Amino acid sequence: MKTGILAAALLATSITAPVMADVDPNVAEARQIIKQFFTQLKGELKKAMKEGGPVHAISVCNEKAPKIADDISAKTGWYVARTSLKPRAPTNSPLPWEKKVLQEFEAEKAAGKPVKAIDYSDVVEEDGKKVFRYMKAIPTGKICLNCHGGAEVKPEVEKKLQELYPSDKARGFKEGDIRGAFVLKKTL
Ligand code: HEC
């Protein structure tokens, strides 16, 4: 009986090991960084919403998001940013390659792929150097609708957003939509 369990355990390891080895170490590292970034961001957001409501919390996305991204960049050596097909801040507008990937993400979602599982990676040459690029779709959660939804956005939030972002396109999202993507890059 005991040997049966041992054999099963060994079998399980031999099945899972090659699958894990299949994940490119750069992809694994990028995913880890995104997890850290997103967890930190959502934590700050929830805290700010609780403390002073959505108008107060706008500053988290406005000031803290780029700061957290810069801190992570400094610590890890990776370029970290966010982009979207419908950006709020003009500085987050997608580059041509990012736009193409975001459009592919929408097509994958339309074909039934869960947003959480949608990502992209490649290696390109930039200024004679090899660069690893990674993008991961960001799902729209319920809390996001306070500032990225339609009717959920309160008039005072709307007012503040219009003051800060006159060309805001990041509205009208529904839960489960792709809000945008994380973009990570590293020189190899
Ligand atoms: C309190 C308001 C608020 C909430 C809630 C909020 N955001 Fe934002 N979001 C903003 C603001 C403001 C910006 C612009 C940030 C900047 O200036 O870089 C932004 C920008 C973004 C961007 C960068 C692309 C762009 O449109 O400029 C992404 C991606 C994003 N938000 C995703 C989310 C997700 C996902 C959630 C829910 C987990 C969320 N946001 C919740 C206010 C909010």
Q: How do the domains of the chain map onto residue ranges?
A: 25-187
Q: 164 C-alpha vs ligand 1 centroid, how far in Å?
A: 13
pTM for the model:
0.89
> How far apart, in Å, do the first and last CA atoms of the chain sit?
50
Query: 60-104: per-residue pLDDT in tens?
Result: 888 888 899 999 999 999 999 999 999 999 999 999 999 999 999
Q: Give the atom of ligand 1 at the shortest distance from the alpha carbon of 38.
A: 38
Task: Tell me which residue has its CA closest to atom 13 in ligand 1.
Answer: 61
Contacts of residue 72, Cβ cutoff 8 Å, sequence gap at least 6: 33, 36, 37, 78, 80
Q: What is the pLDDT of residue 111?
A: 98
Supply 12's token pair: 């399980």
Q: What number does CATH give the domain 25-187?
A: 3.30.450
